[in-house]
Structure 1
């Protein structure tokens, strides 16, 4: 069992308070202690349920934009969570994408700073006691820095450091001077000693500061508790901890364990207790188990969607969003190629199933599914992958059905309409780009291979240059945190197992600041694996809704099971083969 420090609220909630650490006993707590902890959590959940949502605002002139009502409620909620120790200091702000979680956190930072400035008798902050550390994907580092500058009035500016690049300081005392330090998950992984590691490797500057607060933006990045990034984030030394995510559960309930471990949300921060007190009840009785999970979450999680009502009114008045599913048909050449690939894949999968070796060959099976999905986009993606993993995609004159659909969609739009085009594969982006160049479409591109400066330049040019019609975006690099409200049309070229990834991509355009109606085109191919992925996406949506209390459904989504794989290959459950 891992030993993690608990950060306990001190007598002052001043930002200069030293972190107080209390080691956890390596022995398992008594059952009576766990029950007492859970009772306290349920009482907090009941209190949160029954009390009206109170609001907190900053003095006039501190922010350059006024807080919306739901953001004022979030500010007061976060303030209370940071002041009263109730199993953890902090929580999960899980508002839907585009509802302004960033400005809510900025308001919290400013509120704490104003309070500390009003105390003339405050203790002096120790040399390594820092301010707020914001950890985010590389694609939104510059956007965080911009928001911290733009949203704060000149008189109340925060000192902000973007901690990134080869010339960054290695002095923790230097980092501790700033009100806010913005960095990436990759750097945290490299610089923070992991509590579970027996190897005492060097800890960089990030790991040697006692942070007043750590904020994980797009916190679903740490959803797999076994990854190095999740362990490193949990190893950060901080008094207050926050997770920001519009999609806190993406695959399964186990995603929550990594957040609970980071937050020090006891007793559920220990894997054995998370399993005993959350997973086992869900397994034994799904309805009751999910009700218990909702209570556990209510004590530390605040979530509002774009459909949430306050006093009978929507919390946010956004233009409408229309999603259209386009089911296209293969050309004869594509159909023949796909059917041959599908037949070979089915035969290979059936051989594994008959031999009882599906689990042993899980990775190979996923590769077969990958090839089928790529064949739905363009045969060239499969051929290039088979010939050489590093060979660049060759541009030929063949235009796939999906690329034709993209071109037809763009031609149907008025010239002033800006469009985001998402694909999972950079090879597909290459092929679409080739057709854009050939047809004179003005575009910019954003994918994970680009530097931060190049990404920032592409976003600015797309948002500000009227002549740039399209932004080509990698689904993974472009679905997190970016503000692209200049676009009013979104095209999703290929389906992802998890619908929340697509939702995040769509919400780059449908968010605060959007003034136009947003239309979304999802392009799929009839009678292929993509139709089965659509069905699996609905299962994922149900488990998220069940855990968050947004839907009465009781299904649970997990790692793709053998039955799921059989369904994807054959359209029937494996037991029926």
Structure 2
């Protein structure tokens, strides 16, 4: 268009560049109907009026204007001048170096010179501000600078990208731009491809990677491909251009725990240019309105806020719904799950590192949410998957049951789950992580705790709970709870007693001060606690109630864990460590708070009562301040979403029934960015309900590993969760309401399983010697442990001196800890179990063997020694043979060094040593024959 055209250049630029909704009039011109932003609507109207004025001035001055084509050839910088003349190519000098427009204005002014200056300057400044805003607006929609460099995201100036600078295609028609792709690892690209394929097919799935593998980043990469972003500043204007052009443009809903909202906002800003809003708090209505109007790409909310506003949120059609920490919706009948099942989106993506937490029905709930109506119903799922897997994992499983369980697990892993779930573990980034030791410490109760715990279990109410299933004394043959003992003498039912007493014994196992009434409690609560305290300590309850709470909380006689923790803290403080201490009880955290002050440690504190911003601030303080020694954290409030890699010690003060909660708490410190080895200490009160809680954690972790990986886990427990009559040593109220100060449940169960495995292994090796049955005992993992203990008994001082090299072991021994183990040695696949499973698969086809127990007894003559009762002289003879076979002399300190080596071995290392020894003995016997 030439200079004589009807439209001014600014009007042409406005019409061609501003991507707004338009209407074609009868004369072929486009009419602007609306823009996407009210403020920009005002700016555009004002700018158009100024454009018209500029056109009139241009016509009067007869200066040459720039065509719209010329404008397109260069990137327009933001104007900072004082008038329209500052706009590029429009500032033409005419009189004394002044712009023509200013000269014209001076000549047209009817005011004296001095008055004119004071009058026109504010007006020019105001006009200049309008033009500056208008130029920003034009720049937002300009495509004239496609060949010029743009700022890119992400931008990590101090890191080297792990991959080449190249875009990565996603099937069928997506792409991750080069600025982002260069920072993604192969497994993260696979995760993005998995989600993109679900989006393309209008279905859903679960990204089930371990914590720390970058699930959030993978989602951002996936969404970048969905939106067609380029990874540079042009993405900032993509939304308006697409929607202004009448083309479809995605909308995404992210639902997450409240603590993760700021993390999502931060990650979106780090990895690209996004228009996102937070549907949470006072301004949530405005953000939802923006999403409806197409002014947002991503809306972020919490599960609770979504549940309360489900109908309003689902008035928007969401192309993608992201459910972070989606295990929150694992209960199919919970209100939040029902609300999430109504989400208005064709693609649902769940993120969780713990898709299986308690049982396989939770896995069904997650998969059914992601891909509705795809799986069989829940009853069929239980019958074909849940029940076979649980029964086959029992210690007493038959060959047929074990074989079926292994077959179902393999089919689940290879056929079903890959369609809906992708999961990778931390093994992928093992080279980027330090070591982690997950140590379980079984702490003895104090004498006062023992007395209180046993007295509570001996009460009439607890006896009513435990004996509820016994046959009634009246001779009816019915259970007591269904006959003459439906209520207690006080009129309380079984349901009214179970949970309160379970809570009380958990408190006693933790810290006795937790059951002492507080002044701030209600009268009813004080009366209840006073009654319980009197039942526990009938001779001391009044004394404890009269004492100040801070004195009770600091009394080491009221908490066996207290003694352990106080000693460990002193050691860690001296070596310069930083410690995270997690507890589910905020009251206990308050006691720990008193402990920190009494010991003069610097520390931080976080619980659920703190606002989200305050939580972020306190985490930043702990990470940045080297003088902050300890961090007291509520497991519920701080178990997810926090990055606290400045700490290298983690204490789980009280275990949770759900193993995922404790594992997530550990991952606050053990994640990418951690530079030191991490040590985790789980404190378990020995012989109490806490042992039962931790035993169920082992059971659930093993079930999860079987579901994910078809892992051949050791079968420690006879009990089968949810199976009537098969409670074993693990399930049922009788196993929870018990205490044996002289026996540790887990130690016995683990050692029993190791004995059975050793019996099987020895029999399978067919060693023709009487020593073949001496390889295992009930007090250790193999015969080697028994022999080492024999030597230790005879030379305790020398052995103890050498074992004190590890200061933590010495500290634990000093405070009375008799048993610890590493959780990683208990959980995980077993070579021997794989061998047993293989034999069971063969035996299952034999009618005579199918119903036999999968564990085989070691064969042998009747005159051979009973396992665990090997005479001392025979044990010492075998020990000497082992020592010689391993290259140790029997003179001087040779035997002692070998014993110390055995004592320091893990269970797997001891088994390997024993197998190697028997293999050597078999070769020797074969040669002698």
Whether the aligned pair in 2 keeps the contact of 1:267 and 1:274 (CA below 8 Å) is no
Q: Sort the Cα spacing of 1:243 and 1:352 in 2 relative to 1 into closer, same or farther, 3 A.
A: same
How far 1:220 sits from its partner (Å)? 0.8
Which residue of 2 is the match for residue 13 of structure 1?
none
Matched, 1:373 2:527: no
1:97 aligned partner: 211
Q: Which residue of 1 aligns with 2:550?
A: 395
Determine the structure 2 residue equivalent to 1:467: 627
**C-alpha distance in structure 1 between counterparts of 2:303 and 2:248, whole Å:** 21
Alignment equivalent of 1:256, drawn from 345, 359, 363: 363
- SS of equivalent to 2:442: strand
State the SS of the aligned residue for 2:676.
coil
Tell me the equivalent position of 1:570: 738
Q: Among 572, 577, 580, which residue is 1:420 paired with?
A: 580
| 1:402-481 mapped onto 2 (5 Å cutoff) | 402-414=561-573, 416-481=576-641
CA distance in 2, matches of 1:377, 1:560: 30
Q: 1:457 to 1:384 in 2, by over 3 A?
A: farther
What's the secondary structure of 1:508's corresponding residue? coil
**Higher percent of residues as helix:** 2
**Cα distance between partner residues in 2 of 1:231 and 1:450:** 29
Aligned to 2:405: 286
Match of 1:301?
Answer: 421
Matches within 5 A, 1:115-126: none
Equivalent of 2:453 in 317, 329, 338: 338
**1:535 pairs with one of 678, 684, 695:** 695
State the shift of 1:438 in Å. Answer: 2.0
CA displacement 1:167-216 (0-9 Å, x = unmatched): 32156441242222221110011011xxxxxxxxxx23x22211121111
Q: Which residue number corresponds to residue 137 of structure 1?
A: 257
Cα 1:394–1:127 shift into 2, 3 Å: farther
Which of these two proteins has the greater Rg computed from alpha carbons?
Answer: 2
Match of 2:649 in 1: 489
Provide the aligned C-alpha RMSD in A. Answer: 3.4
Cα gap change, 1:119 to 1:382, in 2 (>3 Å): closer
Would the aligned equivalents of 2:261 and 2:300 in 1 still touch at CA under 8 Å? yes
- Deviations along 1:312-349, one digit per CA (max 9) or x if unpaired, are xx565310001122222222222212221233365232
1:163 equivalenced with 2:279 (yes/no): yes
Alpha-carbon distance change, 426 to 120 in structure 1, aligned in 2, over 3 angstroms: closer
8 Å CA contact 1:281, 1:288 repeated in 2? no
Kindly tell me: are residues 128 and 173 of structure 1, through their superposed partners in 2, closer, same or farther at Cα, counting changes over 3 Å?
farther
Equivalence for 1:518: 678
| Deviates most, 409-418 or 351-360 | 351-360
Which range moves more in the overlay, 95-104 or 167-176? 167-176
- Which of 401-410 and 472-481 deviates more? 401-410
CA shift at 1:112, angstroms? 1.8
For the pair 1:72 / 2:231, whether they are aligned, the reply is: no
- Is the Cα–Cα contact under 8 Å of residues 327 and 523 in structure 1 kept in the other structure? yes
- The answer (yes or no) to whether the contact 2:688–2:738 under 8 Å persists in 1 is no
Structure 1 position 301, deviation (Å): 0.6
Q: Greater relative contact order: 1 or 2 (C-alpha under 8 angstroms, separation 6 or more)?
A: 1
Task: State the partner residue of 1:361.
Answer: 494
Specify the alignment match of 2:268 in structure 1. Answer: 148
Q: Is the 8 A contact 1:136 1:217 kept in 2?
A: yes
Q: 3-state DSSP class of the match of 1:537?
A: helix
User: Can you list the C-alpha shifts for 1:457-484, whole angstroms capped at 9, x where unaligned?
Assistant: 2222122222222221112222223222
Instruction: Assess, with a 3 A threshold, how the Cα gap between structure 1 residues 179 and 539 changes in structure 2: closer, same or farther.
Output: same
Q: Distance in 1 between matches of 2:517 and 2:409?
A: 45
Partners of 2:239 and 2:630 in 1: CA distance:
51
1:109-128: CA deviation from partner (whole Å, max 9, x where unpaired): 12222259799996769899
Measure, in 1, the Cα distance between the counterparts of 2:567 and 2:246.
62
Which secondary structure state, in structure 2, belongs to the residue aligned with residue 268 of structure 1? Answer: coil
Structure 1 residue aligned with 2:321: 214
- 2: CA distance, partners of 1:410 / 1:560: 43
Which residue of structure 1 lines up, in the alignment, with residue 31 of structure 2?
none
- Residue deviations 1:235-286 (CA, integer Å, cap 9, x gap): 1111211111100011111102321332134332754554566557767953
Q: Please name the residue that 2:515 is paired with.
A: 382
Q: Per-residue CA shift, 1:276-320, capped at 9, x if unaligned? A: 665577679534443443322121111111125xxxxx5653100
Q: What are structure 2's unaligned runs of at least 5 residues?
A: 1-167, 392-400, 471-478, 487-492, 530-547, 746-929
Q: CA deviation at 1:356?
A: 5.1
With over 3 angstroms needed to count, the CA separation of the structure-2 counterparts of 1:189 and 1:375, relative to structure 1, is same
Q: Secondary structure at the match of 1:240?
A: strand
Quick one: which of 338, 346, 350 aligns to 1:239? 346
Q: Indicate the residue corresponding to 1:33 in structure 2.
A: none
Residue 334 (structure 2) aligns with: 227
Seen in structure 2, the aligned counterparts of structure 1 residues 461 and 339 have a Cα distance that, compared at 3 Å, is: same
Alpha-carbon spacing, 1:520–1:279, altered in 2? closer, same or farther (3 Å): closer
State the Cα distance separating 1:427 from its structure 2 match: 1.0
In 2, the alpha carbon distance for the partners of 1:168 and 1:191 equals: 10
Q: Would the aligned equivalents of 2:253 and 2:320 in 1 still touch at CA under 8 Å?
A: yes
**Alpha-carbon contact 1:223-1:259 (below 8 Å) kept:** yes
| Cα distance change on mapping 1:131 and 1:560 into 2, 3 Å | farther
Contact 2:602 2:630 survives alignment (8 Å): yes
**2: CA distance, partners of 1:189 / 1:421:** 32
1:107 aligns with 2:275: no
**Alignment CA distance shift 1:75-1:405 (3 Å):** same
Cα separation, 2, equivalents of 1:566 and 1:72: 50
Aligned length: 496
Distance 1:521 1:321 in 2: 11
Q: Distance in 2 between matches of 1:270 and 1:115?
A: 40
> Would the aligned equivalents of 1:322 and 1:518 in 2 still touch at CA under 8 Å?
yes
- 3-state DSSP of counterpart to 1:229: helix
Relative to structure 1, the CA distance from residue 559 to residue 280 in structure 2 (aligned partners, 3 Å threshold; closer, same or farther) is: closer
User: C-alpha separation between the residues in 1 aligned to 2:517 and 2:246?
Assistant: 57
Write the distance in 2 (CA, Å) between the matches of 1:571 and 1:70: 48
Q: TM-score, normalised by structure 1?
A: 0.77
Deviation per residue, 1:109-166 (Å, 9 max, x gap): 12222259799996769899762221111122222222222x32xxx41122222113
Contact (CA 8 Å) 1:330, 1:401: kept in 2 or not?
yes
* Structure 1 range deviating more: 364-373 or 502-511: 364-373
Change in Cα spacing, 1:223 to 1:80, as seen in structure 2 (3 Å) is same
Q: SS state of the match for residue 693, structure 2?
A: helix
Q: CA 1:207/1:121 → structure 2, altered by over 3 Å: closer, same or farther?
A: closer
Contact 1:251 1:558 in 2 (8 A): no
Change (3 A) 1:569 1:552: same
CA contact (8 A) 1:349 1:365 kept: yes
The CA deviation at 1:351 is 3.3
